[in-house]
Structure 1
Amino acid sequence: MAHLLSTSIFFAWATLVAAGDIRLRLVRNSLVVVGLVAALASALVNANPFGISAEQALIGMLVGFVGFFPFFAFRVMGAADVKVFAVLGAWCGLSVLQWLWVVASLAAGVHVVVLMMLTHTPVGALWSHRSPTLALGTRRATPYAACLVAPAAIWLTYLVVTGGV
């Protein structure tokens, strides 16, 4: 029962992260904290939907944060993306984290290419030093936190369907 509950909590958390990031380009800190507490609690009671231990959850969280922090420091990525990646590390563990990053980056790249095609943005605009090349209002256009949680949700769906955990 605890495993089903933690699986449901992960799906709800991922959905809220994606919805907030897509609609508002905003992931609230309270949502990040709830996700982190739920991830660590599920690992502590051996009910983590990805089948990782509390130690693996802590390592995944730390590696996720440390791995993405330089992107934030150089203003390439928002703070929410770093925090969401750390929480994903706590949910999924280190072994899956690198693949989530690769798939999310590919999805973000596809998103940018599609937006550039739809808006007829020239490739040269990518090297502009003015405002962001692709923006919706005052916000950058690629919802990277949504790109991060989507492959994790798909992976968990696969695990649930195949009985992988």
Structure 2
Amino acid sequence: MINAALFISWALAVVLFDCRLRRIPNWLVIAGLAVACALVASGHSPFHIDLSDAALGLIAGLILLLPFYLLGLMGAADVKVFATLGAWCGVHALPGLWIVASIAAGIHALYLIASAVIELKRKTAASVDTYVSDAHDIAGSGAAGPVRHTFVVGGRRATPYAALLAMSAIGSLTLQVLEAAR
């Protein structure tokens, strides 16, 4: 039970850092990897995997998301967290984690797009109703304000993908525990 609590604590820390700061410190990733390796090596993995499955999961997690990082589509922390999740959960769990997190990211992206369209329509309607006489206001600093980029919040990408990966892993562990309890 302590092994599962260690995993959930680490995963929740990833979620909190990613959602609040949009950054995941390297010390957190390294600590998660160290604890995962120690638990697997001692035969106490919460996901009941062996050392070879953890090593394959680590390598696969790194290789699978690295191209997305190199293309600038995700941050390095997302790749490092996925690789660490491979060490925790094993290579067999990675496709499911990836699919669930990607579906959640897609839903989040649709929400952001819909919110941006609604906000733009609201601002456009407000600016049409308001007569702007100052040239400075016409340049875009008036009532309507500048339009924000859809996928940027606080200067960073808006979808906390590592958090979604960690949450899908927590869900996976929860399902395993519930299945074992039957």
Q: TM-score range by the shorter chain?
A: 0.7 to 0.9
1:134 aligns with 2:151: yes
1:143 is the counterpart of 2:160: yes
Query: Which residue in 1 is equivalent to 2:33?
Result: 36
SS of the residue 2:5 aligns to? helix
Q: What's the counterpart of residue 80 of structure 2?
A: 83
1:32 counterpart letter in structure 2 = V
Shift of 1:5: 1.7
2:61 corresponding residue in structure 1: 64
After superposing on structure 2, the runs of 4+ consecutive aligned residues of structure 1 that deviate more than 4 Å are: none
TM-score, normalised to structure 1, is 0.88
Residue 178 of structure 2 is aligned with which of 136, 141, 161?
161
1:96-111 to 2 correspondences below 5 Å: 96-111=93-108
The aligned amino acid for 1:119 is A
CA displacement, residues 53-106 of structure 1 (integer Å, 9 cap, x when unaligned): 011101100010011111111111100000000000001111110111011100
Contact 1:132 1:140 in 2 (8 A): no
Residues in 2 aligned to 1:155 and 1:47: alpha-carbon distance in whole angstroms: 17
The aligned residue for residue 70 of structure 2 is 73
* Corresponding residue pairs, total: 153
Asked if structure 1 preserves the Cα contact closer than 8 Å seen for 2:40 and 2:50, the reply is yes
In the alignment, structure 2 segments of 5+ residues that lack a partner are 121-147
Aligned to 1:120, the other structure's residue is in SS state helix
Question: Identity rate of aligned residues, in percent?
Answer: 42
